[in-house]
Amino acid sequence: MNVLLWAAAVIVFVILEIITVQLVSVWLAAGAFITMIAAYFTDIGLTGQFAVFAVSSAILLAVSFPLMKKSRKKGYIPTNSELNTGKQAVVIEEINTRSGTGRVTLSGVDWKAVSDEIIPVDSIVTVKAVDGAKLIVIPEVIL
């Protein structure tokens, strides 16, 4: 009878794992499976079965958690705006916020550009920020 109890526990924990998909109950499902096997082959009482369940789940968690932590991607992946900030672009249409004009080419891509200043065609600009599909630029200072 206890084997059926642990089989039901395995099913419940697997269903919970499928619902959450965050490795919350996978160790409990494995611990319940180990306890089900132990209950089938041995004659331990319910208290002993709960001890097997707790110890096996804890051991599986302790062993697998550091391994999973190593396999996760580390580091931060910059977004498009962070990759473009600080880069230089070439003005292909005069940047004039008052008249609503301004386009630049950055890494072969044509972008709408805005600036506090009027910047003529073929000037080099530096990207200060990205606002949606617009680059906020300043003229490159030539020393």
pLDDT tens-digit profile of 29-85?
Answer: 999 999 999 999 999 999 999 999 999 999 998 888 787 777 666 676 766 667 788
User: 101 pairs with which residues across the strands?
Assistant: 96
Distance, in Å, from the CA atom of 122 to the CA atom of 87, rounded to the nearest integer, reads 16
Mean pLDDT (the chain) is 88
CB 96 within 8 A of CB 118: yes
pLDDT for the residue 1: 64
> Once rounded to an integer, what is the mean pLDDT over residues 109-121?
92
Read off the amino acid at residue 76. Answer: Y
Ranked by mean pLDDT, the top range of 11-25, 73-87, 114-128 is 114-128
Dihedral, 30, 51, 35, 40 alpha carbons, nearest 10: 180
Domain ranges of the chain: 2-71, 80-139
Q: Does 22 have pLDDT greater than 80?
A: no
Closest CA to 105 of 81, 87, 132, 79: 87
Distance, in Å, from the CA atom of 143 to the CA atom of 124, rounded to the nearest integer, reads 13
Q: Considering only residues 15 and 21, tell me which one the structure prediction assigns the higher pLDDT.
A: 15
Q: Does 4 have pLDDT greater than 90?
A: yes
pLDDT for the residue 103: 95
Query: The pTM is what?
Result: 0.51
Q: What is the pLDDT of residues 88-106, one digit of tens each?
A: 999 999 999 889 899 999 9
Homologous superfamily (CATH) for 80-139: Nucleic acid-binding proteins (2.40.50.140)
Within the chain, what is the greatest distance between any pair of CA atoms? 87
Confidence tier at 2 by pLDDT (50, 70, 90): confident
